[in-house]
């Protein structure tokens, strides 16, 4: 039995990894181009309420899969590579960004029942989001 061993250097492996990642991004078509940024501050009771009621389930929802969450502190301003339409004043503020540019926002936390409805309306109005057929409400 003949055994062939191919030696691959680090540069070749790196190039293959980059090619694979580029292909994966191309195939998925999104690569987190749309994301939801939650602007909060320490001691914000409404932020804490959101984290308690919504935080654990958000990544498991269709909305969370479409627009992954990033949490930032209001004192830090917009994250690098992100452009807000205006400076957030209230916490929490949920800023929807596409390709690093703000396309919508929810100021404040109106409670679990209203949050899901507002988020879904914003996603449908500002992005290509379509809630999967037959899925139950996210609340």
Q: What tens digit of pLDDT does each residue of 74-126 get?
A: 999 999 999 999 999 999 999 999 999 999 999 999 999 999 999 999 999 99
DSSP lists the bridge partners of residue 117 as none
pLDDT of residue 12: 53
Residue ranges making up the domain that contains 39 = 30-126
Residue 38 within a domain: yes
CA gap 77, 62 in Å, rounded? 28
pLDDT of residue 32: 56
State yes or no: pLDDT of 36 exceeds 50.
yes
Helix (H, G, I), strand (E, B) or coil at 45: helix
Residue 55 within a domain: yes
Residue 75 within a domain: yes
CATH number of the CATH domain containing 113: 3.40.30.10
pLDDT of residue 130: 94
- 28 falls in which pLDDT band (50, 70, 90)? very low
Q: pTM for this structure?
A: 0.74
């Amino acid at each position: 039995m003949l055994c062939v061993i191919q030696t691959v250097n680090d540069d070749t492996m790196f190039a293959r990894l980059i090619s694979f990642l580029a292909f994966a991004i191309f195939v998925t078509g999104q690569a987190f181009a749309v994301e939801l940024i939650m602007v909060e501050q320490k001691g914000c009771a409404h932020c804490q309420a959101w984290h308690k009621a919504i935080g654990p389930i958000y990544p498991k929802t269709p909305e969370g899969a479409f627009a992954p969450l990033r949490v930032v502190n209001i004192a830090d301003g917009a994250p690098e590579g992100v452009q807000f339409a205006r400076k957030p004043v209230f916490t929490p503020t949920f800023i929807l960004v596409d390709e690093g540019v703000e396309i919508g926002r929810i100021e404040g936390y109106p409670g679990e029942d209203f949050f899901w409805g507002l988020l879904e309306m914003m996603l449908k109005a500002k992005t290509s989001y379509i809630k999967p057929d037959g899925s139950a409400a996210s609340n």
